[in-house]
């Protein structure tokens, strides 16, 4: 054994799993680890024990939606005893009600009414017009929520190969409705196809990285009202494009929540004076990378950061820098937490800080853990989606090979220095074990963490109370109301 290998062996001995091996006892406890939660018994159990309550409160995964939009579909699913969320029949059940289309038609009518009113007032905004915009946006977002549940729990399209045509149709409809909603906001939504300049064509990687961008002023072009003037002075050095730009958050999405599923979180960023770039992670939705290549994400982030550094908007004869590249923050959610931890090490000099929430980086890939995770709190069977997300053809291949290939401990990433890294999770997380966040303290640079005792995946509902103040301490905050 070489001196370097011996040193690494000594560093890893005494860790949670002894050199990253399976822990003797999972922190969540033997009973919770071995349990199969009631909602896995079928659609009736899922609705009655797990999803009905959040649906009545418009909580994940029903955020932006209303109970009345979903009750007919779940009644139909229960009556048919349709228990497979991954089936085309699941998707068709939600689309067949026609509720989403009706909501969009109602929203379109409100937008037309708004446009007529605006024309009558010479383009000036009115309180009535603002209410019409808000009402239309709400209806579009309700439709988006229906499409979200219809395409649950997972979609992918690497190399042009779509895993489920029915769910993909729902995904396209969701994006279409979301863009309609986004054009009505004071800080409108822009969809940008970022050039994937570091892609590997031979691995089937796409040409572009689709992202959503929102800025805190009312559009791409700086305006000359009070708010717009303030934005220009803050973001520029007088119009030469060399000013700092605005702080920006790169939001890395998860296994089932994608770009159109983060409205509230994006609004929180805007309220603090930050821009946001929302991007999907490898192996999910529209992400163009090769999911079977652990290093594909590094090429993805390099391309994205290059575009952000070069991006400008025109103001007359001037070009203004958009993003302050000294104040770039990353927040990775759930499966996105893995990529947040990785980018904190691989691109540390380009990032002011990283939040990894609910991250699984090594122990999540343990065969013993994967053997039980399907019975935990996730609403569907988890391992088939994760196998496909990582480029495997079967769950068996995934369980047998994924840790050696993707673990950030096994591939040496965790031994590298990192930027500031905040780890957030619940101690009872049954998807990504809390051990994964704790073990990060044993490697590389010192880390920061907040764990919530007794909380499940991602540490909700209290997690945000720790995340936003930490982000503000690095990026600053204007605390403006929008």
Catalytic residue among 73, 334, 407, 437: 334
Structure tokens at 121: 């007032």
Host H or E run for residue 217: none
Catalytic residue among 40, 114, 376, 457: 457
**Long-range CB contacts (< 8 A, 24+ apart) of 308-312?**
308/248, 308/277, 312/241
3-class DSSP state of 156: coil
State how far the Cα of 399 lies from the Cα of 50, in Å rounded to an integer: 27
Q: Is 429 a catalytic residue?
A: yes
3-class secondary structure, 460 = coil
Can you list the pairs that 202-205 forms with residues at least 24 positions away whose Cβ atoms lie under 8 Å? 203/290, 203/293, 203/296, 204/158, 204/159, 204/160, 204/290, 205/288, 205/289, 205/290, 205/296, 205/299
Which one is catalytic: 290, 429, 436, 437?
A: 429
Q: Which of 198, 212, 140, 207 is nearest to 174 (CA)?
A: 140
- Cross-strand pairs, 249: 276, 329
Question: Using an 8 Å Cβ cutoff, are 448 and 438 in contact?
Answer: no
DSSP-assigned letter for residue 453: T
Cα–Cα distance, 405 to 307 (Å, whole number) = 29
Q: Which has the closest alpha carbon to 364: 409, 414, 332? A: 409
Phi, psi of 111 (to 5 degrees): -65, -40
Residues constituting the chain: 482
- Distance (Å, rounded) from C-alpha 202 to C-alpha 222? 41
Q: Specify whether 457 is catalytic.
A: yes
Asked whether 162 and 155 are in contact (CB, 8 A), the reply is: yes
| DSSP structural state of residue 51 | I
DSSP string, 162-174: -S-HHHHHHHHHH
Q: What are phi and psi of 405, to 5 degrees?
A: -85, -40
Q: Is 334 a catalytic residue?
A: yes
Q: Which residues are catalytic?
A: 334, 429, 457
């Amino acid at each position: 054994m070489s001196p370097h290998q011996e040193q690494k062996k000594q560093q890893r001995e005494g860790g949670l799993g002894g050199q990253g091996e399976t822990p003797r006892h999972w922190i969540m406890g033997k009973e919770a680890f071995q349990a199969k939660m009631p909602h896995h018994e079928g659609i009736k159990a899922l609705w009655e024990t797990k999803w009905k309550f959040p649906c009545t409160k418009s909580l994940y995964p029903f955020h932006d939606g209303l109970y009345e939009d979903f009750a007919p579909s779940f009644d139909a699913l229960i009556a048919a005893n349709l228990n497979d969320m991954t089936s085309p029949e699941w998707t068709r059940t939600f689309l067949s009600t026609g509720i989403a289309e009706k909501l969009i038609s109602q929203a379109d009518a409100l937008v037309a009414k708004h446009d007529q009113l605006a024309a009558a007032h010479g383009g000036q905004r009115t309180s009535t017009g603002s209410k019409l915009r808000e009402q239309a946006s709400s209806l579009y977002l309700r439709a988006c929520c229906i499409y979200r549940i219809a395409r649950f729990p997972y979609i992918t399209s690497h190399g042009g190969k779509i895993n489920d045509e029915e769910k993909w149709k729902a995904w396209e409809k969701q994006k279409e409705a979301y863009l309609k909603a986004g054009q009505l906001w004071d800080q409108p939504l822009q969809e940008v196809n970022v050039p994937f300049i570091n892609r590997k064509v031979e691995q089937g990687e796409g040409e572009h990285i689709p992202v959503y961008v929102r800025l805190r002023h009312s559009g791409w072009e700086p305006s000359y009202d009070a708010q717009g003037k303030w934005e220009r002075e803050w973001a520029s050095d007088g119009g030469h494009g060399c000013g700092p730009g605005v702080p920006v958050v790169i939001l890395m999405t998860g296994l089932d929540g994608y770009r159109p599923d983060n409205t509230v979180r994006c609004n929180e960023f805007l309220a603090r004076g930050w821009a946001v770039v929302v991007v999907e992670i490898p192996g999910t939705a529209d992400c163009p990378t090769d999911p079977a290549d652990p290093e594909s994400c590094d090429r993805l982030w390099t391309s994205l950061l290059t575009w952000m550094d070069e991006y400008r908007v025109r103001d007359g004869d001037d070009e203004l820098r958009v993003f302050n590249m000294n104040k770039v923050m990353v927040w990775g959610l759930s499966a996105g937490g893995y990529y947040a931890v990785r980018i904190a090490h691989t691109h540390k000099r380009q990032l002011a800080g990283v939040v990894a929430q609910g991250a699984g980086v090594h122990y999540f890939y343990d065969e013993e853990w994967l053997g039980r995770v399907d019975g935990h709190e996730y609403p569907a069977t988890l391992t088939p989606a994760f196998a496909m997300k990582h480029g495997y053809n079967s769950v068996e291949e995934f369980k047998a090979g994924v840790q050696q290939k993707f673990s950030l401990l096994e591939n040496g990433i965790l031994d590298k220095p990192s930027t500031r890294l905040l780890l957030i999770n619940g101690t009872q997380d049954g998807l990504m074990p809390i051990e994964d966040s704790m073990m990060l303290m044993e490697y590389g640079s010192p880390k920061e963490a907040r764990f919530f005792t007794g909380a499940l995946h991602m540490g909700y509902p209290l997690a945000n109370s720790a995340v936003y103040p930490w982000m503000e301490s690095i990026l600053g905050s204007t605390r403006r109301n929008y």
